[in-house]
Structure 1
Amino acid sequence: MLGNLKPQAVDKILMLMGEFRADPRRDKIDLGVGVYRNAQGVTPIMRAVHAAEERLLQTETTKTYTALTGEPGFNAAMAELVLGQGYPADRLASVATPGGTGACRQAFELIRMASPDATIWVSDPTWPNHLSILRHLGMKVALYRYFDTETRGVDFAGMTEDLAAAQAGDVVLLHGCCHNPTGANLNLDQWERIADLLQRTGATPMIDIAYQGFGDGLEEDAAGVRLLAQRLPEMLIAASCSKNFGIYRERTGVLMALSDPAHREVTQGNLNYLNRQNYSFPPDHGARIVMTILNDPALRADWQAELEEVRLGMLALRQQLAEELRRLSGSDRFGFIAQHRGMFSRLGATPEQVEKMKKDHAIYMVGDSRINVAGLNESTVPVLARAMIEAGL
């Protein structure tokens, strides 16, 4: 039987990580992997996470199963974080998931159960795993224009023109903030216009929010999600705790579904069913860390302070890179880097230019020229800027 299996394509980012590890050059720079790193190249454990784990070590009395939904207190705390205080609990169904990826997978499964012929509208480009999972599930996919390769901003006219063709029963997948891989975000006026469009077409939004707090702030990064939740009858939200709590390996996420209150109980039952089919009970350790932090005023304040340090540090690196490129190029054509938000920016380099930077300067980035800004520090920013100019950007 197993001899009938066919080789699967290697994940390009994982392959790039292997190349980086094998490169013997000491001055090599890894801008490919999508993980936050501080100036020392370390993904630190946040202070509040340490404190919460110490508290759990002293107080936790069992490792027995939680509910199929996960710990209810975690789900409620995440709903408040994403949707804000006073979120519509009578409309909300939710389950804890193994990371944001698990939340996306469960959301796609739920869509397939509720609307088997649905087309999932996905931004071009998007996080590659969105498309990989959808194709694995055999679901219909349509791409909508998103990134303007000339301005390096959002092609909003193209986006809305494409999404006007969505229909009731379809799902429009949107990035809540810090778009991956481009770093180009919708502003609040554009979110309003997307809400208008979704009301006209009857399509349902699905929001993937994996970087809340990495862009313009915790509240600001959730503004688009909250706007759609207020204006539209239904939506799905896949949220990750990997980045903003720094608990990547704990695999902590949540899937939320907003519906008419009359449909909430059935929706919740279907979410429970999907958890049971895929992994029964979701991971709990990371969820309890998050719940402990969010429900304790002192821990929450310390977490928010450290998260703000992370956010401002990435913005400073963006500004430094844009200014260094302005100095070297004598133009403002790289100003978009300072305008983008989150860990990622797409530079607009060709695959040949990306390869040249890797060969000549040991700078590793994804082939579409997506860089992880958090892979830089004050010393390596000038190295990248010089490499970009020498590569002909």
Structure 2
Amino acid sequence: MSYFDTVSLAPADPILSLTEAFKADKNPEKINLSVGVFVDQSGVTPILETVKEAERRILEASTSKSYLPMTGTPAYASLTQKLCFGEEIAESLQGKVTSLQTPGGTGALRVAADFIAKNTSAQTIWLSNPTWANHKGIFGAPGLKLGTYDYFDSANLSLDYDAFLKSLESIPAGDVVVLHGCCHNPTGVDLTPEQWEDVAKIAAAKKWIPLVDFAYQGFGDGIVEDAAAARIVAKAGLPAFVCQSFSKNLGLYQDRVGALHVITDDASNLANVVSQLKISVRVNYSNPPAHGGAIVTTILSDEKLTEQWHAELKAMRDRIASVRTQFVDALKAAGVEKDFTFLTQQKGMFSFTGLGKEQATALREEHSVYIVDSGRINVAGITDSNIDRVVAAIKAVL
């Protein structure tokens, strides 16, 4: 009998397993609309010119590969705070906020989950219905109880705002509510700044804790506009967690660079919070990888590079918006009876198409077009060279 005979086969990841199936597909015209990466018009995930320049500077200036501190560098913390909250709010938070450099946004979420489980009175972590598939695994791993709040109206493919507010009103004090800062994954349906103000008021009144998952800054309406959730929550004086990622907006997917910002409502608690966060880091990955953080620091500390990055980010954002319009027009021109104009109102890379699991399966098995069973697609995966095939396949399964 083998020592590992008691190990059962784990269920496949609902998104990453599709990437494996896509790679194994022999169809030369296969299309992957499931994985969450930006691609340009040629279907390539580009390295930004600002990133290349930052890496050149880092290579020339590097003198050591020694460990970083557990929380990362002070420069990284300061610059990412300013990007996330804006300079004025970031300044007002000094003494009440701590920021950790983490291995991607996922690393930030996991450190937050461990900290919440071990150090707070939270009974339940509340996730939007639907939410990013990995949220359940991340927050469930340290033993936290999971709940869901109403968010998406699947019949009308839009925000169910009344049900959403009603759900938030019912969440107990001390619990943590995971909010998508912008470009909601998987629906692409976002809140307005005015609606975020409502959320902050409810959080303050009901005394539950916001955790803003902020993975797509700049992919929705702009760097400042997309930061409304984080900035409104911070300005309201609420204790909060913000998990920031640079995978998408700087194209640093494989460099795994993110940040966890923890805002306390009492400066006297900050030192204790930092000490416990360090323990979570130490037993997890000990200290963050340096290279991605150095890229972010180099770009954000140089005015010209920052300006150039803003332009590159706008080009990515404009491409996504353009694809949405082209896609809707192409579906209509192909004679698809279903009205897909809602896609132009959604933001970011992802959208709910309204397609069901049976149709998603048919797209994969009969047309080699890979989408998630929920009907979520990565709009950025559509290019001039594959849009006709995508449209034809959707028309066929409908």
TM-score bracket for this pair, using the shorter chain length: over 0.9
User: Quick check: 1:79 aligned with 2:84?
Assistant: no
Residue of structure 2 equivalent to 1:378? 384
Residue of structure 1 equivalent to 2:216? 211
Residue of structure 2 equivalent to 1:253? 258
Residue of structure 2 equivalent to 1:28? 30
Is 1:49–1:245's contact at 8 Å kept on the other side of the alignment? yes
Is 1:321–1:382's contact at 8 Å kept on the other side of the alignment? no
Is 1:36–1:343's contact at 8 Å kept on the other side of the alignment? yes
1:127-276 equivalence runs, <5 A: 127-259=132-264, 260-276=266-282
**DSSP-derived class of the 1:333 partner:** coil
Cα distance in 1, alignment partners of residues 21 and 394 from structure 2:
20
Q: Are the structure 2 counterparts of residues 220 and 24 from structure 1 closer, same or farther at C-alpha, using a change threshold of 3 Å? A: same
Which has the higher mean CA deviation after the structures are superposed, 270-279 or 96-105? 270-279
Is 1:317–1:381's contact at 8 Å kept on the other side of the alignment? no
In the alignment, which of 317, 320, 339 is matched to residue 314 of structure 1?
A: 320
**DSSP-derived class of the 2:373 partner:** coil
User: Quick check: 1:359 aligned with 2:361?
Assistant: no
Residue of structure 2 equivalent to 1:278? 284
Q: Are the structure 2 counterparts of residues 149 and 380 from structure 1 closer, same or farther at C-alpha, using a change threshold of 3 Å? A: same
Q: What TM-score, normalized to structure 1?
A: 0.96
Gaps of 5+ in 1: none
**DSSP-derived class of the 1:249 partner:** coil
Which has the higher mean CA deviation after the structures are superposed, 262-271 or 305-314? 262-271
User: Quick check: 1:348 aligned with 2:354?
Assistant: yes
**DSSP-derived class of the 1:382 partner:** helix
Cα distance in 2, alignment partners of residues 359 and 331 from structure 1:
23
Is 2:336–2:395's contact at 8 Å kept on the other side of the alignment? no
Provide runs of 4+ in structure 1 moved above 6 Å.
Answer: none
Which has the higher mean CA deviation after the structures are superposed, 327-336 or 218-227? 327-336
**DSSP-derived class of the 1:352 partner:** helix
What's the CA shift string for 1:37-58, capped at 9, x where partnerless?
A: 1111111111011001110111
Is 1:53–1:289's contact at 8 Å kept on the other side of the alignment? yes
Residue of structure 1 equivalent to 2:56? 54
Residue of structure 2 equivalent to 1:5? 7
Cα distance in 2, alignment partners of residues 339 and 325 from structure 1:
16
Aligned-residue identity in percent: 39
Which has the higher mean CA deviation after the structures are superposed, 366-375 or 256-265? 256-265
Which has the higher mean CA deviation after the structures are superposed, 338-347 or 36-45? 36-45
Is 1:117–1:140's contact at 8 Å kept on the other side of the alignment? no
Residue of structure 1 equivalent to 2:47? 45
The Cα shift of 1:114 comes to: 2.4
User: Quick check: 1:104 aligned with 2:112?
Assistant: no
The Cα shift of 1:29 comes to: 0.9
Taking only aligned residues, the RMSD between alpha carbons, in angstroms, comes to 1.5
Q: Are the structure 2 counterparts of residues 142 and 51 from structure 1 closer, same or farther at C-alpha, using a change threshold of 3 Å? A: same
The Cα shift of 1:330 comes to: 7.0
In the alignment of these two chains, the number of paired residues is: 392
Is 2:33–2:377's contact at 8 Å kept on the other side of the alignment? yes
The Cα shift of 1:70 comes to: 0.5
The Cα shift of 1:127 comes to: 0.8
Cα distance in 2, alignment partners of residues 102 and 241 from structure 1:
12
Is 2:122–2:176's contact at 8 Å kept on the other side of the alignment? no
**DSSP-derived class of the 2:310 partner:** helix
Q: Are the structure 2 counterparts of residues 69 and 360 from structure 1 closer, same or farther at C-alpha, using a change threshold of 3 Å? A: same
**DSSP-derived class of the 1:16 partner:** helix
User: Quick check: 1:368 aligned with 2:370?
Assistant: no
Report the residue type matching 2:220 in the other structure.
Answer: G
**DSSP-derived class of the 1:221 partner:** helix
**DSSP-derived class of the 1:340 partner:** coil
Gaps of 5+ in 2: none
What's the CA shift string for 1:262-295, capped at 9, x where partnerless?
A: 2222212221221112121111110011000000
Which has the higher mean CA deviation after the structures are superposed, 379-388 or 364-373? 379-388
Is 2:204–2:238's contact at 8 Å kept on the other side of the alignment? no
Cα distance in 1, alignment partners of residues 322 and 175 from structure 2:
40
Is 2:320–2:349's contact at 8 Å kept on the other side of the alignment? yes
